[in-house]
A and B are shown apart, each in its own frame.
Chain A
Amino acid sequence: MKDYRELEMDFMDNVPSPQIDRREFLKLGSGIFVLFTVGDFSTLAEAQQAQRSLPTDFNAFLRIGEDGRVSCYTGKIEMGQGVNTSLAQMIADELDVQPDVVDMVMGDTDLCPYDRGTFGSLTTRSFGQSLRAAGAEARRVLLELASEQLKLPMETLGTENGQVFDKSNRNNRVPYARLTQGKRIERRLSQAAIKKMPSEFKVMNKPFNRRDGVEKVTGKARYSADIQLPGMLYARILRPPAHGAKLTGVDLSGARKMKDVVVVHEGDFVAVLHKYPDVAEQALSAIQSTFSTSPSQVDDRTIFDHLLSVAGPEQVVSKEGDLPTGERASKSVIERTYLDGYKAHAPMEPHAAVANLEGSKMTVWASTQTPFPLKEEIVRELGFSPKNVRVITPYLGGGFGGKSRNLQAVEAARLAKLTGKPVQVAWTRQEEFFYDAFRPAAVVKIRSGMTASGAMSFWDYSVYFAGQRGSQHFYTIPHHSTRSFSAAPGKDAHPFATGPWRAPANNTNTFARESQIDIMAAEAGHDPLEFRLKHLPEGNMKEVLRAAAKKFGWKPAKGPSGRGYGIACGMDAGTFVATIAEVAVDKATGDVKVKRVVCAQDMGLVVNPAGATIQVEGCIMMGLGYALKEDVRFKNGAILDENFDTYEIPLFSWLPKIETVLMEKKEADPQGGGEPAII
């Protein structure tokens, strides 16, 4: 069995969830319950189909308590992206309550309805829209209740600040809390729940500071490794020196001699546990072990040829016209290959988990972006019944896609089961680099041509191993074909785990596409902005390019201009984004210093403009590492970058001046915000 796997790369859709136990929801006491169904269907037909096949499938759960506080139960998690603030804004606005009375309960598999995971920038554009609908419905229920209590027709009543009031006598009002007393009203949302119009927004589309700020600046915010239970043991696990290396011999006598150290040895799995993590670490270093050589023959230089050699049949992403016809019409043809290496997620918090077995019930606190899939994994791997596994997700110290892989939590649960004690598994930085499901290395091959007048005539695009997200170009080109390749059946592509990394696939595809466009613009003797505008239809992409150019103060010049200006555009998670950078290049060393970045983004309705701007800044800063420095080095299964001394992530001294333009589009549905600006 492979000891790693390639995680799914393209989180383009949201698969409906399995049925959940309705009774679980009824244990929470009184209040108004609004149950609503999974969202993010691109068509009504899909939504209807999902509802037909899974009629009792709920995606979120909202409660208005007798104390007037609103609890929002969501399987989404908070990893820094700020959705505990923006989701609270969405529900508060629809309900007409202050955002600070909303309590977000996130990522708890016993309390929250099924969710496939926090990824794909789906929280706001998909879950959030359903949440708004739930808020709108709950508000209607409250009006009904108030109408009965005040003996007034519903049309004469309004809501504000957690109260229903009589429009003709505004002193005649009743708080939501009093309306819900002792009663529990449960209803399914109809499709017809009417959300507020943008002109009615009081909370949405206004800047709000993060609601977790105070907890996080005082050290009170709990992350998984901060969970401490009585009698808990910290585990350190024996690791191979390279992926694919197998344990051939182990001498545990040194660790066994140490006082209060618990040694676990089950097949290839060797762990030492102690009430202090540093003593567990000493016990680990007292173990003598030998491993076989890894069968992996590739390294970070040879990987690209290897990838091309194991590629399977093409999958056509899009196609139009006829490539040979386009090529015959071309005066010049440009052919380039783009290589993109493995990237580490490198969140500041390494993977951590605490597991506790009480009777037959396993509870796991884990830094995970996918609490429900993790629960299923524990059920599957360790033979628990689903009702006996609970995953609780504290704050995550960053995820970026990397915490979709939950090995550490399965290890903690396994050790808790074996030792009968609460166990914490918190990876070291070295383990984090070793077991990270890296953004996969990828190759993109592009052949493209232009007519004598500089019009793009054909586009022949093949992407290997990155994935399809962002691979479709959006330029006006009469003849084009885009194909994606993954591993041929039975072939291993990567020597270790790979998985989604902030804007998976799209960062590779955008890098390749936009580089090719620049080369073509230069070949045509055109300004790279004008070349793009010339090949774009009127619409959102042109708007964001123009907005970025205006803010930047772009003056047209034939490329390469030598000014150190760079421009690129793309689409991700429904959002249009254009970025212009000014850089200084040391011509002797090739070192690049990014001085200024302007980013314009059309993300539809911006729920929290402050949060969205900060996400853009975060994407740009993280993107500097991706673009300029980061590349995981490895050889024969061993990961050569084990810490931040050789794997350089962006520093304060790299910080450019970042300017963000968010297009005013509040009539449009909200789109993704955590990933687009990094593509």
Chain B
Amino acid sequence: KTIPEASMMETIRFTLNNKPVTLTVESDRLLLWVLRTDLSLTGTKYGCGVGLCGSCTVLVDKKAVRSCHTTIGDIKGKEVLTIEGLATDGVLHPVQKAFVDHDALQCGYCTPGMILTACSLLHENPHPSSTDIIRELDANLCRCGAHTRILEAVHAASKELKGGF
């Protein structure tokens, strides 16, 4: 094993939850840890560290991205949305509301990743079939077994959004 080289500090500008952010950080640090520690946005969860579970999912330019596989340098100039930024002025986003209404969560740990993955899907495909939803969410793990309800919630959100994400 070798001693890691100290990385270069860099000034990174991006949009986070609809607000501009400027950070001076090593650009190869993982987005997951920068969000959770430097920015105290702990809604983004660590689950597996290698992109297998989806707990750390955030939206980058409206697409679901695994923050454990994304460096802070990768999001330079981009729009990042975490679970904390989804509700506007205290009003739940339709996907969040559908998850609450359908009890589409138990322990809640996979929930931010599920919701943001569902948002990404509905943005691209406003009226997904069950097959589409299952295909999109299949790489997001839920150990409690809330799958039935999550599927129902995504369908309900799709109806509520009527294509206008």
A interface, CB within 8 angstroms of B: 79-82, 209-210, 212-223, 225-226, 228, 234, 254, 257-259, 275-278, 282, 285-288, 346-350, 395-400, 426, 428-429, 610-611, 614, 617-622, 643-645, 649-653, 655, 658
Determine whether the beta carbon of A286 is less than 8 Å from that of B4: yes
Q: Which residues between 22 and 66 of chain B lie within 8 Å of chain A, taking CB atoms?
A: 29-30, 33, 36-38, 40-50, 52-53, 55
For residue A346, which residues in chain B have a CB less than 8 angstroms away from its CB?
143
Say whether, besides A213-B105, A348-B109, A644 and B48 are in contact (CB < 8 Å): yes
Q: Please name the residue on chain A nearest to B140 by beta carbon.
A: A652
Docked Cα-Cα span, A397 to B137, in Å, equals: 19
Asked whether, in the complex, the Cβ of A397 is within 8 Å of the Cβ of B45, the reply is yes
User: Which residues of B lie under 8 Å from residue A215 when comparing CB positions?
Assistant: 108
Task: Closest B residue to A430 by CB, please name it.
Answer: B49
A218 engages B143 (CB within 8 Å) = no
The 8 Å CB contact of B41, one of A219, A278, A650, is: A219
Could you name 11 residue pairs across A and B whose Cβ atoms are closer than 8 Å?
A: A79-B107, A210-B106, A218-B87, A221-B108, A277-B37, A278-B29, A286-B2, A347-B143, A348-B53, A643-B49, A651-B141
- Nearest to B84 among chain A residues (CB) is A219
Given the contacts A210-B103, A217-B115, A653-B134, A395 and B96 also touching, CB distance less than 8 Å: no
Interface flag for B86 (CB, 8 Å): yes
Q: Are B145 and A617 in contact (CB under 8 A)?
A: yes
Which residues on the B side are within 8 Å of A217 (C-beta)? Answer: 83, 92, 96-97, 99-100, 105, 108, 111-112, 115
B69 within 8 Å of A (CB atoms): no
Q: Which residues of B contact A213 (CB under 8 A)?
A: 99-100, 103, 105
- List B contacts of A428 (CB < 8 A): 49
Closest-CB distance, A507 to chain B (whole angstroms):
15
Question: With contacts A217-B115, A429-B47 known, is A286 near B86, CB below 8 A?
Answer: no
Most central of B29, B82, B86, B148 by chain A CB within 10 Å: B148
Q: Indicate whether B80 reaches chain A with its CB closer than 8 angstroms.
A: no
A617 to B145, CA, bound (A): 7
- Contact between B105 and A216, CB atoms less than 8 A apart: yes
CA distance A611 to B30 in the complex (A): 37
Q: A218-B43, A228-B40, A286-B3 are in contact. Are A622 and B86 (CB under 8 A)?
A: no
Residue of A81, A285, A287, A348 most packed against chain B (CB within 10 A): A348
**Residues of B contacting A348 in the complex (Cβ-Cβ under 8 angstroms):** 45, 47, 53, 55, 107, 109-110, 141-144
A347 CA to B48 CA, complexed, in Å: 11
Q: A210-B105, A644-B48 are in contact. List 10 more A-B contacts (CB 8 A).
A: A81-B106, A215-B108, A216-B108, A217-B111, A254-B3, A347-B107, A348-B53, A398-B143, A651-B139, A653-B135
Contact check, A655 vs B43: say whether CB atoms are below 8 A apart: no
Tell whether B123 is near chain A: CB-to-CB under 8 Å.
Answer: no
Report B149 CB to chain A, min CB distance, Å: 7
B101 CB–A CB distance under 8 Å? yes
Q: A218-B87, A219-B83, A653-B134 are in contact. Are A80 and B144 (CB under 8 A)?
A: yes
Partner of A621, one of B42, B138, B147: B147
Residues of chain A lying within 8 A (CB to CB) of residue B36: 226, 277
Residues of A within 8 A of B83 (CB): 217-219
Q: How far is the CA of A81 from the CA of B99 in the complex (A)?
A: 16
Instruction: Give A215 to B147 CA distance when docked, in angstroms.
Output: 19
* Bound Cα distance A81, B103 (Å): 12
Docked pose: A28 CA to B160 CA in angstroms: 45
- Residue B75 lies at the interface, judged by CB distance under 8 Å to chain A: no
The CA of A658 and the CA of B148, in the complex, are separated in Å by 8
Tell me if A218 and B145 are in contact (CB < 8 A). no
Main secondary structure on B side of the interface with A: loop
Instruction: Say yes or no: B107 contacts A395, CB within 8 Å.
Output: yes
A220 nearest in chain B by CB position: B43
Name A622's closest neighbour in chain B (CB-CB): B145
- Tell yes or no: B146 within 8 A of A by CB: yes
Contact across chains for B107 and A429 when beta carbons are under 8 A apart: no
B84 contacts A396, C-beta separation under 8 Å? no
Interface assignment of B8: CB less than 8 Å from any CB of chain A: no
| Complexed CA–CA distance, A350 and B111 (Å) | 15
Within the assembled complex, what's the spacing in Å between the Cα atoms of A645 and B50? 9
Q: Do residues A617 and B37 form an inter-chain contact, with CB atoms below 8 A?
A: no
| List of B residues within 8 angstroms of A649 by Cβ | 141, 143
Q: Is B1 an interface residue (CB 8 A)?
A: yes
Which of B3, B33, B84, B148 contacts A257 (CB under 8 A)?
B3
CB distance from B25 to the nearest CB of A (A): 10
A652 touches B134 (CB 8 A): yes
Q: List 7 A-B pairs, minimum CB-CB distance, nearest first.
A: A219-B43, A397-B109, A80-B107, A621-B145, A216-B108, A618-B145, A80-B106
Q: Which residues from chain A contact B139 at a C-beta distance below 8 Å? A: 651
**Is B146 a contact of A618 with CB atoms below 8 Å?**
yes
Of the residues B46, B84, B151, contact of A218 by C-beta under 8 Å: B84
Give B96 Cβ to nearest chain A Cβ, in Å.
4
Instruction: Find the A residue at minimum CB distance from B6.
Output: A259
Chain B residue nearest to A677 (CB atoms) is: B145
For B45, the chain A residues whose CB sits under 8 A away are: 223, 348-349, 397
What chain A residues lie within 8 Å of B48 (beta carbons)?
429, 643-644
Most buried by B among A80, A210, A426: A80
One of A79, A225, A257 near B46 (C-beta < 8 A): A225
Report whether B82 and A622 are in contact in the complex, using a CB–CB cutoff of 8 Å. no
Query: Given B4, B42, B141, B151, which contacts A226 in the complex, CB threshold below 8 Å?
Result: B42
Identify the interface centre among A221, A346, A347: most chain B CB within 10 Å of its CB: A221
Across-interface contacts of B97 in A (CB, < 8 A): 217
For A209, the chain B residues whose CB sits under 8 A away are 100-101, 103
Give Cα A649–Cα B144 distance, bound, in whole angstroms: 11
A651 to B77, CA, bound (A): 34
A277 to B96, CA, bound (A): 29
Q: Which residue of B lies closest to A348 (CB)?
A: B109
| CB pair B145 A620 closer than 8 Å | yes
Residues of B within 8 A of A653 (CB): 134-135, 138
A281 to chain B, nearest CB (A): 9
Which residue of chain A lies nearest to B109 when distances are taken between CB atoms in the complex?
A: A397
Residues on A with C-beta less than 8 A from B1 are 254, 285-288
What's the least CB distance linking A267 to chain B, in Å? 22
Residue of B29, B46, B140 with highest tally of chain A CB at under 10 A = B46
Report which residue of A285, A395, A655 has the largest number of chain B beta carbons within 10 angstroms of its beta carbon.
A655
CA distance A223 to B47 in the complex (A): 13
**Given A219-B43, A651-B138, is A614 in contact with B146 using a C-beta cutoff of 8 Å?**
yes
Looking at B40, B50, B137, the one whose CB has the most chain A CB atoms below 10 A away is B50
CA distance A497 to B139 in the complex (A): 29
> Is the pair B3, A219 in contact by a Cβ cutoff of 8 Å?
no
Min distance, Cβ A227 to any Cβ of chain B, angstroms: 9
Q: A residues within 8 A CB of B42?
A: 219, 222-223, 225-226, 228
CB distance from A610 to the nearest CB of B (A): 6
CA distance A319 to B149 in the complex (A): 44
Q: Closest chain B residue to A221 by CB distance?
A: B108
Q: Given known contacts A219-B41, A276-B37, A617-B148, is B53 in contact with A644 (CB within 8 Å)? A: yes
- Name B28's closest neighbour in chain A (CB-CB): A278
Nearest CB in chain B: distance from A643 CB, A: 6
Name the CB-closest residue of A to B110.
A348
CA distance A348 to B37 in the complex (A): 20
Contact A644 B52, CB 8 Å, known A216-B111, A398-B143, A622-B145: yes
The residue in chain A whose Cβ has the minimal distance to the Cβ of B44 is: A219
Indicate if the CB atoms of A219 and B112 lie closer than 8 Å. yes
When distances are taken between beta carbons in the complex, the residues of chain A under 8 Å from B141 are 348, 644, 649, 651
